[in-house]
Every structure is written in C-alpha cells, then in structure tokens.
Amino acid sequence: MWIIKKLLDLLNRFTKKCNTLYLDYDKNQKKKAQERLDALKILETKEYIFKNVSSKTKQNNYFKIAFFATVIMVVLFPIIVSLNAPNNLLIEICSIFILLLSLSYTYNSFIVSLLSLNRYLRKILFSILTFINVFILGDIIIASISNTNTPNRILNFFENLFTEYKLQIAFGNDIWLFWLIFTLMTASSCISLYLVLKTQDVFELEFMETENRLLLSSLAIVTFIIGIDIDKVKPIGILCLILVIQTAFFEVFYSFLLSKMYEKAQSIIQEQVLKNEDSIDYNRLVECYYYGGEKYKEKLLSTEKFLVIIVKNELKSLKDLKTYDNYRLYKAIRARNI
C-alpha cells in the first residue's frame, strides 16, 4: 500500500513538472510569435521577412528539434536491436514505427531549417539530406526482402535498388508482412511531415508550394514507369511510391493549413474594410499579412485606404525608402496629402 502511494505521489509530481514545462514552452513560443509579428512590415522584401520574421528566427529551434530527434533515433536503435523479439509481432511493429518516425522527423526538421539559407547552399544541403534519407529507407526495404549481409548490401546498394525481388521467396505466405513494413514507413513519414508542417508560418508554406508540385508530378511519372506489383517489387519503385504518398499528403495538409490562415486574414480584412480611413488599425493590417502572406499583401496594397495607412506607418522618412517602389509609394501619398 505504501509503495502504491509513493508511486502515485511520484507520478503526480512528474505530471505537474511536465505541465509546468509545457506551460513555460507555450508561453515562450507565444512571446516569440509576438516578437515576429512586431518585426513584420508589409512593404518589406522577402529577404527581410525570412531573416526577421520567418525561417531565420526559428532556425535554432529547428536545429534543436532535429538534434533531439537524432539522439532519440540513435538511442532507440541499439535498444530495438537488443530486444530481439522475433516472436512478438507487436513489439517489432512498435519498434520499427518509432524508429522510422524519429528518422523522418529528423529529416523533415533539417529540411525546414534550410529555408533561410541562400539558394545554392540550400540546394546542396537538400541534395545531401535527401540522399541520406533515401539511402537509409532504401536499405531498410532491401534488408526486409534480401538475405544479403550488411557490408555487401551497402556496397551494392544502387544495384540492389533496381533489382526485382519476389516477396514469396523472402516472406513465404506472409507477404502481408512486407506491405505492413511499407505501411509503417509511409505512416511515419506522413505523421512526421504533419508535425513539422504545423509549426510553419504562411511565408514558409508559400515558399514550398511550387517545388512540391513539381516533385509530385515527377515522382508520379517515375513510379508509373517502374510499376508496382503485389508479389514482385523493386526497392526503387517502393521508395518512389512512399515519396509520392508523402508528397500528396503534403499537398493536402499544406492546402488545409493555408486555408485556415487565409480565413483569419479574410476576417481581418473584412473587419477593417468597413471602417473609414481614420479608424483603420494598422496593427490589424500587419496581422492580416502575417496570416495571409503574399496573397493578402496584394489585397492590402490594392485597397487605397489600406495603402495610405501602411505607407504612413512604414515609410515615415526618406531613410525608410529602400526600394524604388517604396519611393514611388512615398511620393504618391505625400502628393495626395498636399
């Protein structure tokens, strides 16, 4: 009885500590979000936005998350291997899923941390990270259907990727086990993508749009050419299929996130458009841009009374005129007020 009471007391204290840590984290995140909102200016360039409002301000956080996810993955791997529970399917499924989730989350966290880097460095690092991710996932697929030892499997990785394997030879009548592994890989990839995407702001999401659609169409064509069979597979085809599903999931969830943000921006713009010029709240216009991104920036600048308020608050003197477009706006508004 005393032991149970002690355990409940420890559990209670642990729960309170976790709750306190979460509240502190939530408070800190809200404070940082407010700082980013305060730094936002509607007439500034995309470079300024990424440096002072978007990716650059969150880069350290992305690297920390990616680092911790990597540590979890490294710690889990030997534990999972040491379990050696071939007869316990549930333990194996949970172990593989957690390991794959850590891997995918690490990869996606590193990818979003690249958004604030210059274009050429970003492309180089993206290519390296993508190769590492494909290599690990490809090796997991090959290992599940091939009896080749690890050194030979790694040395002949690219050859094995394009080799056709008969699942019945590897799994006998339990071919469904391979498709279970495939499902776990796909699910972990999509869940990790969801966890990363929900932390993105509208500027980061808009930045991802074009590249993702190009990737989806390319992968779909490649997967169609390679083909997928229920009992005969090529690892490269399975990899492409996983990436197609992940990219399609990205497209759906990305559109959902943007629509929710655009709803907030639309409600703000409808609230402010009904007011006369003297009553318009500049901070609410900035908030509209914060949720609406480039799409709502165009709407704000194409409405004359909004434009006047924005220019008066952001172009107060000649030192604020960093571009020719800003100079033209400043000159036009000053001429209007004379």
Residue predicted with more confidence, 116 or 65? 65
Nearest to 187 by CA among 237, 127, 249: 249
Contact 160, 146 (CB under 8 A): yes
Contacts of 167 (CB under 8 A, 6+ apart): 145, 175, 178, 231, 232, 233
Mean pLDDT for the stretch of residues 310-317: 74
pLDDT of residue 37: 74
Taking only the tens place, the pLDDT of each residue in 258-268 is 899 999 999 99
Buried b (16+ CB within 10 A) or exposed e, 217-242: eebbebbeebeeeeeebbbbbbbbbb
Contacts of 284 (CB under 8 A, 6+ apart): 268, 271, 272
Give, to the nearest 10 degrees, the angle between helix 324-337 and helix 304-314: 110
Contact 248, 216 (CB under 8 A): yes
Provide the 3-class DSSP secondary structure of residue 166.
strand
Length of the chain: 338
Kindly report whether the global pTM for this prediction surpasses the value 0.75: no
Q: What percent of the chain has pLDDT over 70?
A: 60
Q: Where are the domains of the chain?
A: 42-260, 265-335
Residue with tokens 């009374």: 305
Please tell me the distance from the alpha carbon of residue 181 to that of residue 183, in angstroms, as a whole number. Answer: 5
Is 80 exceeded by the pLDDT of residue 330?
no
Measure Cα distances from 25 to 19, 20, 36, 207 in Å.
Answer: 10, 9, 17, 27
Using left for φ > 0, alpha for ψ between -120 and 50, and beta otherwise, residue 172 falls in left
Please tell me the distance from the alpha carbon of residue 36 to that of residue 48, in angstroms, as a whole number. Answer: 12
Mean pLDDT of the chain: 73
pLDDT of residue 106: 77
Beta bridge partners of 233: 165
Contact 43, 51 (CB under 8 A): no
Is 70 exceeded by the pLDDT of residue 309?
yes
Is 80 exceeded by the pLDDT of residue 90?
no
pLDDT of residue 277: 78
Would you state the torsion angle of the CA atoms of residues 252, 253, 258, 261, taken in this order, to the nearest 10 degrees?
140
pLDDT of residue 267: 92
Nearest to 144 by CA among 156, 133, 160, 131: 160
Taking only the tens place, the pLDDT of each residue in 268-295 is 999 888 888 778 888 888 888 888 888 8
Mean pLDDT for the stretch of residues 164-182: 75
Is 70 exceeded by the pLDDT of residue 7?
no
Q: What percent of the chain has pLDDT over 90?
A: 1
User: What does the DSSP 8-state code read for residue 173?
Assistant: T
